[in-house]
Amino acid sequence: MAEISRPLNVYFLPFLAQGHMIPFCQFARLFAARGLHVTIITTPVNARFLQSSIEESNALGHHIQLHTVRFPSDEVGLPDGIENFFNVTDAPTGHKLYEAAGLLRNQVQPFMEENPPDCIVSDFMYPWTAPIATRLGIPRIVFNSFCLFAVCMISAHNRQLQSLPPGLCNDHDGDNSGGPFVVSGLPETITLPLRPPKRISELLGSLIEADQKNSYGLIVNNFNDLDGQDYINYHQKSTDLKVWHIGPASLMLRNILPKEDLHPQTNNEHDELIRTWLDSKESNSVVYVSFGSLCRFDDPQLFEIACGLESSGCSFIWVVHRESKQNNEEEEEAEEKKTWLPKGFEGRMKKENRGLILMKWAPQELILNHPATGGFLTHCGWTTVTEAVSAGVPMMTWPVFVEQFYNEKLITQVHGFGVEVGAEEWNSGPYDRRDKVVNKMKIENAVRRLMDCGEEGEKVRRKAIEMREKAGKAVEEDGSSQRNLTALIEDLELFCK
Ligand code: UDP
């Protein structure tokens, strides 16, 4: 553990989405557990979401506080309460929220100038924190919520795009349906099922490139073995940015909680019901289905998922965050009659005690860590992947947007602890119009491959357990992630001397 002569004062600035907010808060708590003084800067609704975790840390004697800035609802024309992308269901609202996130600078900068910290840990979605750090003469550490493997893939794809003659390059515009697509120049040949959308590669590529120029280093919510030394070396060769693998953050956090909190606790009636239901199931018999906090499927896609799950014969917990309809009457009918489910579906599932449909925030870590959960149909959001790996749950991969297709390849091709469903479309973001539906046969097939106790499923399950063991080692007292956290803090202390 690092010797700290004066507690470093670090500000954390998480982006307004759960896949960023959750690991950010975990990092903040890990820093505080090492004696640093930590402040998380966020807006009122997000602060309320983080409050109980922060209190849990402070009860252990750690020093962590929330600094709340006003959410600029009026300036961007958003109703009160929408301060996180989890509450957004359409593109125009998403754009307003994105604009509001940029406007936070107007409050954050004066606060930082009046109360300068020793270091900023910033989300990469806030490029405006770079000039603030430069003005204050302090290091800016960046977090982008990706794994390093995905960062390498995005950079390699961009280099590929840049090497194409301009005419050919334009042919790729908007074409995200072609495939398979080989990303070259990496430690191994990675074949993606679809061509990455040029727009998203360029956007992410430019943010990553800017970070490489304007940051002191990058924190990755991952551990060395999962990204793999080949990709860590590859990244090191292409940039001199310092990188610290500190994760899985959720697993590291469990090491600092009192023993009685080691297993995720249920904290309300809703969660208790889920746990009781899982307790009634055999080990490894339940499929958990969730597409994260952002992705909203339309009704025809939900219908196919329901059919696929029913015909797989497996028990399931299915988290449904629906895309809402523009027309109020249609929406009311869909809500009331559940027109997105096959006729009689709920009745049959209830009779057979086979499935739970959760329409609100699901206690994901509780579900993943329950022995009954044997497989996870996932969109491959990176925070989710780290949680599934920590729980040793093999995955059925169905990436939807941004870098999730790269994560799928790390899971299936590089490490083999998942099977691919066969995603049909690579969207730029969660609110893109989807033209294709993944059919029930593909879904049933993926579930059977993993859950039917056949040779393939058992092999994939063994790989998931092996990776869980490696994750466990990384977060032990002398594990690689703990050593990396120590190295980062020592580096900052040296900088601040
Ligand atoms: N999550 C959850 N319950 C839900 C939906 C999401 O606990 O109903 C959590 C999940 O455990 C993870 C985060 O939200 O910590 C989602 O992050 P990820 O990067 O996987 O996906 P995103 O939501 O950004 O697509």
Q: Write the pLDDT tens digit of every residue in 452-491.
A: 989 999 999 999 999 999 999 999 999 999 999 999 999 9
Ligand 1 atom with the smallest distance to the CA of 23 is: 15
Ligand 1 atom with the smallest distance to the CA of 380 is: 20
Residue nearest to atom 24 of ligand 1 (CA): 19
The string over 246-278, giving b where at least 16 C-beta atoms fall within 10 Å of a residue's C-beta and e elsewhere, is bbbbbbbbbbeeeeeeeebeeeeeebeebbebb
The reply to whether 212 falls in a domain is: yes
Over residues 367-387, mean pLDDT: 98
Q: What pLDDT does 429 receive?
A: 85
Residue 1 has pLDDT above 50, yes or no: no
Neighbours of 222 (CB within 10 A): 26
| Shared domain check, 487 and 456 | no
> Does ligand 1 come within 6 angstroms of the Cβ of 294?
yes
Residue 176 has pLDDT above 80, yes or no: no
Over residues 257-272, mean pLDDT: 69
Residue from 384, 389, 403, 427 whose mutation best tests the ligand 1 pocket (most atoms within 8 A of CB): 384
pLDDT tens by residue, 335-372: 767 889 999 999 999 999 999 999 989 999 999 999 99
The CATH number covering residue 280 comes to 3.40.50.2000
Q: What pLDDT does 325 receive?
A: 61
Residue nearest to atom 7 of ligand 1 (CA): 364
Ligand 1 atom with the smallest distance to the CA of 385 is: 20
List strand residue ranges (DSSP E) for 267-354, in order. Answer: 286-290, 315-319
Catalytic (active site) residue 478 = no
| Shared domain check, 217 and 355 | no
Token output for 40? 């998380």
The reply to whether 377 falls in a domain is: yes
Over residues 305-309, mean pLDDT: 98
| Shared domain check, 405 and 487 | no
Q: Which band of pLDDT confidence, cut at 50, 70 and 90, is reported for residue 4? A: low
Residue 199 has pLDDT above 90, yes or no: no
184 φ/ψ angles, rounded to the nearest 5 degrees: -105, 170
List residues bridging with 217 in a β-sheet. 141, 242
Q: Which band of pLDDT confidence, cut at 50, 70 and 90, is reported for residue 2? A: very low
Residue from 364, 379, 380, 386 whose mutation best tests the ligand 1 pocket (most atoms within 8 A of CB): 364
Q: With H, G, I as helix, E, B as strand and everything else as coil, classify residue 238.
A: helix
| Shared domain check, 414 and 303 | yes
Q: Which band of pLDDT confidence, cut at 50, 70 and 90, is reported for residue 46? A: very high
Q: Looking at per-residue confidence, does 334 or 222 come out higher?
A: 222
| Shared domain check, 278 and 222 | no
| Contact in structure between 66 and 51 (CB atoms under 8 Å) | yes
> Packing angle between helix 105-114 and helix 91-103, nearest 10 degrees?
20
Chain Cα centroid distance, residue 83: 18
Token output for 260? 């009685």
> Does ligand 1 come within 6 angstroms of the Cβ of 384?
yes
How far from 487 is each of 218, 242, 243, CA to CA, in Å?
Answer: 13, 11, 11
Residue from 16, 293, 427 whose mutation best tests the ligand 1 pocket (most atoms within 8 A of CB): 293
d(C-alpha 338, C-alpha 170), whole Å: 43
Which position among 37, 62, 118, 123 bears the catalytic label? 123
Q: Which band of pLDDT confidence, cut at 50, 70 and 90, is reported for residue 187? A: very high
What pTM, to 2 d.p., does this model score?
0.94
pLDDT tens by residue, 50-74: 999 999 999 999 999 999 999 999 9
Neighbours of 61 (CB within 10 A): 9
Ligand 1 atom with the smallest distance to the CA of 384 is: 20
Q: What pLDDT does 163 receive?
A: 78
Q: Looking at per-residue confidence, does 116 or 325 come out higher?
A: 116
Q: What pLDDT does 173 receive?
A: 44
| Shared domain check, 165 and 22 | yes
| Contact in structure between 19 and 293 (CB atoms under 8 Å) | yes
CA of 338 to the centre of ligand 1 (A): 24
| Shared domain check, 117 and 70 | yes
Over residues 268-290, mean pLDDT: 95
Name, in order, each residue with C-beta under 8 angstroms of 1's C-beta and a sequence gap of 6 or more. Answer: 34, 486
The reply to whether 62 falls in a domain is: yes
| Shared domain check, 455 and 321 | yes
| Shared domain check, 306 and 279 | yes
> Does ligand 1 come within 6 angstroms of the Cβ of 111?
no
d(C-alpha 394, C-alpha 378), whole Å: 10
Q: Please give the DSSP secondary-structure letter assigned to residue 259.
A: G
- Helical segments of 84-147, H only: 91-103, 105-114, 129-136
List residues bridging with 140 in a β-sheet. 120
> Does ligand 1 come within 6 angstroms of the Cβ of 367?
no
List strand residue ranges (DSSP E) for 271-386, in order. Answer: 286-290, 315-319, 355-358, 373-378
Rg (CA), the chain: 22
d(C-alpha 383, C-alpha 385), whole Å: 5
List strand residue ranges (DSSP E) for 119-201, in order. Answer: 119-123, 140-143, 181-183, 190-192
Cis peptide before 139 (omega within 30 of 0): no
Ligand 1 atom with the smallest distance to the CA of 145 is: 19
CA of 84 to the centre of ligand 1 (A): 12
The reply to whether 272 falls in a domain is: yes
- The two counts, helices (H) then strands (E), for the chain are 22, 15
Catalytic (active site) residue 20 = yes
The reply to whether 261 falls in a domain is: no
Ligand 1 atom with the smallest distance to the CA of 381 is: 20
| Contact in structure between 419 and 287 (CB atoms under 8 Å) | no
| Shared domain check, 209 and 89 | yes
Neighbours of 493 (CB within 10 A): 17
Starting at the edge strand found earlier in the chain, the sheet holding 140-143 runs 64-68, 37-42, 9-13, 119-123, 140-143, 217-220, 242-245
Q: Which band of pLDDT confidence, cut at 50, 70 and 90, is reported for residue 170? A: very low
> Does ligand 1 come within 6 angstroms of the Cβ of 362?
yes
Note down the domain range covering 53: 9-256+475-495
Q: What pLDDT does 346 receive?
A: 94
d(C-alpha 399, C-alpha 86), whole Å: 18
> Does ligand 1 come within 6 angstroms of the Cβ of 382?
yes
Residue 172 has pLDDT above 70, yes or no: no
Residue nearest to atom 16 of ligand 1 (CA): 19
The reply to whether 420 falls in a domain is: yes
Neighbours of 24 (CB within 10 A): 25
Count of domains in the chain? 2
Q: Which band of pLDDT confidence, cut at 50, 70 and 90, is reported for residue 184? A: confident
Q: What pLDDT does 416 receive?
A: 98
CA of 382 to the centre of ligand 1 (A): 9
User: How many CA atoms does the CB half-sphere of 456 hold within 13 Å?
Assistant: 14
Residue 175 has pLDDT above 70, yes or no: no
> Does ligand 1 come within 6 angstroms of the Cβ of 249?
no
Quick one: CA torsion of 190, 196, 199, 201, rounded to 10 degrees?
Answer: -20
**Residue 491: closest CA among 132, 111, 141:** 141
Q: What pLDDT does 110 receive?
A: 98
d(C-alpha 255, C-alpha 367), whole Å: 19
Over residues 308-322, mean pLDDT: 95
| Shared domain check, 382 and 370 | yes
Token output for 186? 């990496």
Q: With H, G, I as helix, E, B as strand and everything else as coil, classify residue 398.
A: coil
The reply to whether 3 falls in a domain is: no
Question: What is the total residue count of the chain?
Answer: 497
| Shared domain check, 125 and 66 | yes
The reply to whether 149 falls in a domain is: yes
Q: Which band of pLDDT confidence, cut at 50, 70 and 90, is reported for residue 159? A: confident
Q: Which band of pLDDT confidence, cut at 50, 70 and 90, is reported for residue 267? A: low
> Does ligand 1 come within 6 angstroms of the Cβ of 430?
no
Beta pairing, strands 181-183 & 190-192:
antiparallel
pLDDT tens by residue, 22-36: 999 999 999 999 999
Per-chain mean pLDDT for the chain: 92
d(C-alpha 104, C-alpha 108), whole Å: 6
Determine what percent of the chain is predicted with pLDDT higher than 70. 92
